Amino acid sequence: MTVRVGISGWRYRPWRGTFYPKGLPQRRELEFVAERLRTVEINGSFYSLQRPESYRSWYAQTPPGFVFAVKGGRFITHMKKLAGIETPLANFFASGVLALGDKLGPVLWQLPPNLGYDPGRLTAFFERLPRSTADAARLAAQHDERLDGRALTEAVEDRPLRHALEVRHDSFRDPAFTDLLRAHEVAVVVADTAGRWPLIEEVTADFVYVRLHGDAELYVSGYDDAALDAWAARIRRWDEAGRDVYVYFDNDVKVRAPVDAIALADRLADLDRTEA
């Protein structure tokens, strides 16, 4: 099994001169991260469709064995609320995601706080999700005219494609929800949000996806030694149960994310199976 610890995004102005050395060019920030961590979450894809050349550049800036998680577009999750998304979903996968090739990890879908549990809506969404890069390429070919001339609709090779869902409404605290995820092999995101949104620690797929947004204050507070030890123990249990684990720190406001990610990765260094 594989355990990877990383950060949610890497391009933050307050990190320059603190985590990133003074004078480090912005274009080398991802390279700097990849020398210290084994994965990163691409968040720009949540806000707008990226371009194939961006994904190709990110691939080139990272070493073999590095993995990117990609956050699905908010147009799909927050604006369309998972309904009527056939074309937006095709556009998302046509925007260049497939250029990541063997470095493409799970796709993260984050629901807004005002969207509650609706099994019919979720089932329809899950049934549309591509489960391999070949499926994603076929879906990408259905993009609309907005991506004409800039779409990527071919996969380098056919690989399985995993999906994770992060929820932010209390109605998801329902055993029927996790049963639905298991039926569709979608991982529920184990999200630590300082108590603001549900923390669901169920295993619903063959991997576990963790997002750590802040221990005491959302996006701000760091994780002390005791908290990091506790998360390391959880991760070891998931690993022992035969699950791949992806962990991303999103407490970026006070430059805690990269520091905490490196500290947790150090605690789990014996589980590094990069060569496997």
pLDDT above 50: residue 275: no
Q: Is 172 contained in some domain?
A: yes
pTM of the model: 0.96
Q: Is 188 contained in some domain?
A: yes
Q: Is 185 contained in some domain?
A: yes
Specify the range with the lowest mean pLDDT, choosing from 43-47, 192-196, 244-248: 192-196
Residue 254's pLDDT is 81
Predicted confidence (pLDDT) per residue in 75-99, tens digit: 999 999 999 999 999 999 999 999 9
Q: Own/partner pairs for 142-148, CB < 8 Å, 24+ apart?
A: 142/86, 142/87, 142/90, 143/87, 143/90, 143/91, 143/94, 144/87, 144/90, 144/91, 146/91, 147/49, 147/91, 147/94, 147/95
Q: Provide the percentage of residues in the chain whose pLDDT is more than 70.
A: 99
Q: Calculate mean pLDDT across residues 52-70.
A: 98
Confidence of residue 132 (pLDDT cuts 50, 70, 90): very high
Contact between 212 and 263 (Cβ < 8 Å): no
Residue 276's pLDDT is 35
Residue 220's pLDDT is 85
Predicted confidence (pLDDT) per residue in 21-36, tens digit: 999 999 999 999 999 9
Domain tally, the chain: 1
Predicted confidence (pLDDT) per residue in 210-221, tens digit: 999 998 888 888
Range of the domain at 233: 3-271
User: In this structure, what CATH number is given to the domain that contains residue 46?
Assistant: 3.20.20.410
Q: Is 276 contained in some domain?
A: no
CA 228, CA 262: separation in Å to the nearest integer? 11
Q: Is 81 contained in some domain?
A: yes
Mean per-residue pLDDT over the chain, rounded:
96
Q: Calculate mean pLDDT across residues 149-163.
A: 96
Residue 216's pLDDT is 86
Residue 1's pLDDT is 75
- The neighbouring-strand residues paired with 121 are none
DSSP code for 70: E
Q: Is 222 contained in some domain?
A: yes
Residue 274's pLDDT is 56
